[in-house]
């Protein structure tokens, strides 16, 4: 086929508006194009993720009902006499409340999604739901979760008198205000309709969308790697064109065989290969800023748009900020609407609320508050006031309304009263003068026991001694894990400091990455170091179990299972290296942006590495030790033919409430413990959530019979 024949053939494919021969950008017919997103939830990763961040925790906690009406604090209302409501009809209804949605969790996500995107969500009640005498019904009809754009408000003389709803089939329905539950966000521009938070994030979302399209187009353009033939003196002749094509084809065939031979072209002709192009750092930074702006608008902490700390779920973490500032207010609005619907259906006052107490993040925050309680009590604050101030809900006992100072362990009133004649040095067989030595009747000792034992009250001395013995045995392994982590960490610190010291000043075009440690080597070194410690930990834990059982046979942990365990732990810790790298980069970048000298930047880097070593190293070491010990002890019990196992907490003051509740729980050796709503084969089970396994000090012990307290 001659050259012009190729042109005529291509003309059937190339239409006006294409790159050649009219030099225009073709219209986008792929369905991806357009100036702005047509379906934000489907086209914006960050919008979808932000909605899931808010809706997920709400859908994951338990929905409860009570008779309390207008109470700002449901827990206090329940303690004051409000009754919990257990109505089988309501419980069944809220398992799948809306048509087309299979569960309450899906219903919550859809409701939160519409509120975030459109500023309002509409629940439409069936006609039969507003008839009198609801108490006679055996069940309640499902609602309709309507699209906001299919709802039109009907207003008469400034009053809302009804709604027009257009269903999916195009049928219009006139609804009474009582049939429509509108979960409306505040809108300063409309009295009757809500304003979505996405409205403020549209520019950022569309900017990120356009950036994604640009990146896609750039990568697709890189796929066109055909050579450019440049003829500087006009179009080549037919003979020249055929010669060029023939030589390039022959060269390509030889390359495929591993032979590289130059091509010689006659005339003023050059062959240019297209260059691979990629987005730069500024482009990526722009996308990150757009993601953070979307998260900010929808109430999600900005840093959750990037990598977050795997080992942080306490009050200083972004997870707590997310729940406190995002999930709880949104959940309260949804619970208010659930209360309206439930009251209409049941024909009585019903208040719905979400039980956040069992959420892992809130459990961690409660543990921190228990630590704070110790400090307040030590300054003379009565324990009942401490409990009320920190909302700990500690059980009451005689003497909890008296404050004590620890240096003398006497009532504050006695210490400050000049008329007091208490002799602090005198004691008799019954203990200090004026009080009994029995801890069950002495209010001072009872208060101390409430603080030191906390949620694990009721533990006897033998059980606490057994827990301490197990913790003492595993401490060498904890130290080994911590040492392994710190060795790798300090090697990375040395690498960064050496790079900094090699530069007297920060060059204008320097970036934080120029001074960073090798991330791949850091991860590899960490994996290798932890493998050695893990192998020893598995063997040591199994041998200790066999010693407890009086077995003379050596404990063996299958090598295949050991490798599987190590790979599993490496996956769990895969984010630690990235987090360390990011924290160090942040310190370097902060110093560079602030105009610091190399010495000042080096000081910042030392501080970051030292802080990581002091805090995270211990947490990681305890977590890895618990996983290794729990796994090996479980395998050892199976090998030894143990029939039952029992969960035992450490007895420390910071025991998680869920773990305290599991204390003494006894199950068959091949069954899982029920801990905080999760099934764990042993303490530190990698299948457990972060809030259930991180820094766990519990242990599973072998018992002969399935009875609490019998070892």
- Asked if 80 and 30 count as a contact pair (C-beta separation under 8 A), the reply is no
The pLDDT assigned to 404 comes to 65
What pLDDT digit, counting tens, does each position of 5-25 carry?
Answer: 544 444 444 444 333 343 344
Pairing of strands 431-432, 427-428: antiparallel
The contacts of residue 449 (CB under 8 Å, 6+ apart) are: 439, 457
Residue 310: inside a domain, yes or no? no
Residue 173 has a pLDDT of 94
Do 566 and 652 belong to one domain?
yes
Q: Is residue 369 part of a domain?
A: yes
Phi, psi of 209 (to 5 degrees): -65, -45
Mean per-residue pLDDT, 250-271: 74
Does 29 score more than 70 pLDDT? no
Angstrom distance (rounded) from CA 248 to CA 242: 10
The total of other beta-carbon atoms located within 10 Å of residue 275's CB is: 7
Q: For residue 597, what pLDDT is reported?
A: 84
Q: Let me know whether 92 and 24 are in one domain.
A: no
Cα 639 to Cα 633: distance, rounded to the nearest angstrom: 10
Domain boundary among 165, 199, 233: 199
pLDDT of 390 strictly over 70? yes
Same domain, 510 and 583: yes
413 and 549 assigned to the same domain: no
Residues 390 and 531 grouped into a single domain: no
**Ramachandran region of residue 15, left (φ > 0), alpha (ψ -120 to 50) or beta?**
beta
- pLDDT, residue 339, reads 94
Name which of 71, 65, 104, 107 is nearest 83 in CA terms: 65
Q: Are strands 644-648 and 699-703 parallel, antiparallel or unpaired?
A: antiparallel
Is the predicted pLDDT of residue 457 greater than 60, yes or no? Answer: no
Give whole-number Cα distances, 356 to 7, 66, 179, 335, 395, in Å: 70, 15, 30, 13, 20
The DSSP line for 355-401 is EGGGSHHHHHHHHHHHHHHHHHHHTT--HHHHHHHHT--PPP-TTTT
Please tell me the distance from the alpha carbon of residue 1 to that of residue 30, in angstroms, as a whole number: 32
| Phi, psi for 693 (deg, rounded to 5) | -125, -25
pLDDT attached to residue 445: 40
> Cβ contacts of residue 518 below 8 Å, gap of 6+?
495
Burial 533-558 (b: 16+ CB within 10 A, else e): bbbebbbbbbbbbbebeeeeeebebe
Q: Is residue 468 part of a domain?
A: yes
Q: Is residue 559 part of a domain?
A: yes
Same domain? For 447 and 465 the reply is no
Over residues 279-292, mean pLDDT: 89
Beta bridge partners, 673, equal 680
- CA–CA distance, 601 with 505 (Å, rounded to integer): 11
**Contact between 208 and 288 (Cβ < 8 Å):** no
Range(s) of the domain holding residue 683 = 461-703
CA distances from 304 to 491, 629, 632 (A): 29, 32, 35
Beta bridge partner(s), residue 272: 228
Residue bearing tokens 């006006």: 16
> What does the pLDDT average to over 357-377?
82
Three-class DSSP labels, 664-692:
CCEEECCCCEEECCEEECCCCCCCCCHHH
CA dihedral sign, ordered 413, 418, 419, 424: positive
- pLDDT-wise least confident of 149-163, 500-514, 683-697: 500-514
| Element holding 346 (H helix, E strand) | helix 328-346
Whether residue 524 is contained in a domain is answered as yes
The pLDDT of residue 199 = 93
CA atoms within 13 A on the CB side of 672: 13
pLDDT score for 111: 97
Establish if 229 belongs to a structural domain: no
The predicted model gives 640-650 an average pLDDT of 90
In a domain, 539, yes or no: yes
**d(Cα 356, Cα 573) in Å, to the nearest integer?**
28
Closest CA to 690 of 307, 313, 304, 358: 313
Q: What is the arithmetic mean of pLDDT over 457-463?
A: 65
- Residues 520 and 633 reside in one and the same domain: yes
- Examine the pLDDT at 306 and tell me if it is beyond 90: no
Distance CA 440, CA 13 (A): 92
Question: Please, is 353 exposed, middle or buried when counting C-beta atoms within 10 Å of its C-beta (0-12, 13-18, 19+)?
Answer: buried
Residue 613 and residue 522 in contact, taking contact as beta carbons nearer than 8 Å? no
Q: What percent of the chain has pLDDT over 70?
A: 78
C-alpha 708/C-alpha 664 separation (Å) is 6
* Chain segment 580-607, per-residue pLDDT in tens: 888 888 888 888 888 888 888 888 888 8
Query: CB–CB of 341/391 below 8 Å?
Result: no
**pLDDT at position 67 over 90:** no
- Residue 282 lies inside a defined structural domain of this protein: no
Is pLDDT above 70 for 195? yes
Is residue 623 within 8 Å of residue 671, measured between CB atoms?
no
Q: What is the pLDDT of residue 160?
A: 94
Distance, CA of 703 to CA of 64 (rounded, Å): 37
Question: To the nearest whole number, what is the mean pLDDT of the chain?
Answer: 79
- Our count of domains for the chain comes to 4
Whether residue 648 sits in one domain with residue 692:
yes
Q: Which of 353, 319, 313, 366 has the alpha carbon at shortest distance from 658? A: 366
671 or 404, higher pLDDT: 671
Among 404-408, 537-541, 563-567, the least confident range: 404-408
Average pLDDT over residues 88-100: 92
CA gap 632, 626 in Å, rounded: 10
Residue 453, pLDDT score: 43
15 and 102 share one domain: no
Residues in the chain: 711
- The residue ranking higher by pLDDT, 669 or 442, is 669
Q: Is the pLDDT of residue 629 over 70?
A: yes
pLDDT given for residue 575 in this prediction: 75
**Of 89, 327, 313, 289, nearest to 205 (Cα)?**
289
Q: How confident is residue 376, by pLDDT bands cut at 50, 70 and 90?
A: confident
Q: Which of 221-235, 386-400, 571-585, 682-696 has the highest mean pLDDT?
A: 682-696
pTM over the 0.85 mark: no
pLDDT on residue 307 = 64
pLDDT at 430: 37
Residue that terminates a domain, selected from 175, 199, 223:
199
Interacting residues of 686 by C-beta distance below 8 A, sequence separation 6+: 568, 569, 572, 627, 631, 693
Specify which residues 84 forms β-bridges with: 66
3-state SS assignment for residue 335 = helix
As given in the structure block, the two tokens for residue 61 are: 């906690």
Q: What is the full DSSP assignment across 619-652?
A: HHHHHHHHHHHHHHHHHHHHHHT--EEEEE----
Using pLDDT thresholds of 50, 70 and 90, give the confidence band for residue 409. Answer: very low
User: Using alpha carbons only, what angle is made at residue 619 by residues 614 and 624, rounded to the nearest 5 degrees?
Assistant: 130
Direct distance between the N- and C-terminal alpha carbons of the chain, in angstroms, rounded to an integer: 91
pLDDT interval class at 136 (50, 70, 90): low
Is residue 498 located within the same domain as residue 604? yes
Domain boundary among 199, 233, 252: 199
Are 475 and 622 contained in the same domain? yes
Asked whether residue 401 carries a pLDDT value surpassing 70, the answer given is yes
Same domain, 444 and 549: no
């Amino acid at each position: 086929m001659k050259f012009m024949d190729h042109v005529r053939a291509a003309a059937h494919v190339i239409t006006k508006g294409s790159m050649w021969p009219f030099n225009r950008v073709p219209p986008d017919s792929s369905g991806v194009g357009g100036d702005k997103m047509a379906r934000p939830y489907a086209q914006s990763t960050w919008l979808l993720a932000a909605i899931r961040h808010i809706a997920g925790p709400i859908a994951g906690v338990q929905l409860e009902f009570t008779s309390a009406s207008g109470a700002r604090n449901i827990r206090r209302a329940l303690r004051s006499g409000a009754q919990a409501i257990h109505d089988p009809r309501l419980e069944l209804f809220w398992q799948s409340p809306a048509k087309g949605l299979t569960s309450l969790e899906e219903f919550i996500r859809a409701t939160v999604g519409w509120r975030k995107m459109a500023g309002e969500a509409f629940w439409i009640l069936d006609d039969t739901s507003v008839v009198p005498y609801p108490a006679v019904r055996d069940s309640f009809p499902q609602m309709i979760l309507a699209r906001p754009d299919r709802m039109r408000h009907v207003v008469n003389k400034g009053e809302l008198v009804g709604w027009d709803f257009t269903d999916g089939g195009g049928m219009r329905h006139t609804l009474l205000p009582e049939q429509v539950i509108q979960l409306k966000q505040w809108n300063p521009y409309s009295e009757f309709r809500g304003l979505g938070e996405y409205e403020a994030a549209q520019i950022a979302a569309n900017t990120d969308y356009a950036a994604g399209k640009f990146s896609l187009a750039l990568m697709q353009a890189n796929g066109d790697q055909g050579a450019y033939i440049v003829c500087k003196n006009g179009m080549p002749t037919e003979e020249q064109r055929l010669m060029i094509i023939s030589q390039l084809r022959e060269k390509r065939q030889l390359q495929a065989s591993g032979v590289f031979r130059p091509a010689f072209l006659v005339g003023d002709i050059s062959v240019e290969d297209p260059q691979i192009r990629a987005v730069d750092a500024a482009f990526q930074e722009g996308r990150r800023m757009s993601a953070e702006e979307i998260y900010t608008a929808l109430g999600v902490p900005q840093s959750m748009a990037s990598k977050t700390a795997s080992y942080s779920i306490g009050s200083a973490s972004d997870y707590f900020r997310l729940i406190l500032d995002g999930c709880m207010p949104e959940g309260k609005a949804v619970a208010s609407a659930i209360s309206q619907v439930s009251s209409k259906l049941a024909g009585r006052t019903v208040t719905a609320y979400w039980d956040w107490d069992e959420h892992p993040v809130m459990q961690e925050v409660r543990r921190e508050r228990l630590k704070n309680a110790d400090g307040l009590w030590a300054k003379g604050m009565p324990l009942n006031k401490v409990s009320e101030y920190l909302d700990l809900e500690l059980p009451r006992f005689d003497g909890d309304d008296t404050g004590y100072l620890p240096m003398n362990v006497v009532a504050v009133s006695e210490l400050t009263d000049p008329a007091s004649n208490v002799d602090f040095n005198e004691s008799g067989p019954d203990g200090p003068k004026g009080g009994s030595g029995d801890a069950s009747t002495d209010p001072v000792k009872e208060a101390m026991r409430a603080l030191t034992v906390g949620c694990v009250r009721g533990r006897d001395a033998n059980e606490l001694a057994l827990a301490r013995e197990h913790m003492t045995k595993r401490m060498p392994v904890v130290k080994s894990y911590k040492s392994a982590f710190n060795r790798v960490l300090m090697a990375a610190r040395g690498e960064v400091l050496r790079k900094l010291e090699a530069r007297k000043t920060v060059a204008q075009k320097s970036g934080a990455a120029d001074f960073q440690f090798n991330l791949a080597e850091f991860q590899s070194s960490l994996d290798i170091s932890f493998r050695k410690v893990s192998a020893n930990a598995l063997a040591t834990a199994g041998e200790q179990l066999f010693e407890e059982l009086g077995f003379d046979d050596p404990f063996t942990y299958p090598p295949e299972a050991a490798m599987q365990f190590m790979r599993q732990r490496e996956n769990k810790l895969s984010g630690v290296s990235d987090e360390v790298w990011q924290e160090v980069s942040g310190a370097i970048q902060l110093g560079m942006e602030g105009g610091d000298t190399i010495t000042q930047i080096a000081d910042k880097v030392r501080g970051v590495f030292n802080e990581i070593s002091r805090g995270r190293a211990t947490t990681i070491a305890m977590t890895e030790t618990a996983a290794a010990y729990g796994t090996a002890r479980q395998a050892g019990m199976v090998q030894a033919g143990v029939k039952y196992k029992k969960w035992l907490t450490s007895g420390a003051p910071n025991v998680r409430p869920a773990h305290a509740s599991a204390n003494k729980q006894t199950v068959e050796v091949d069954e899982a413990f029920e801990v905080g709503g999760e099934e764990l084969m042993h303490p530190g089970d990698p299948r457990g959530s972060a809030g259930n396994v991180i820094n766990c000090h519990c242990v599973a012990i072998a018992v002969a019979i399935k009875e609490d307290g019998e070892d």
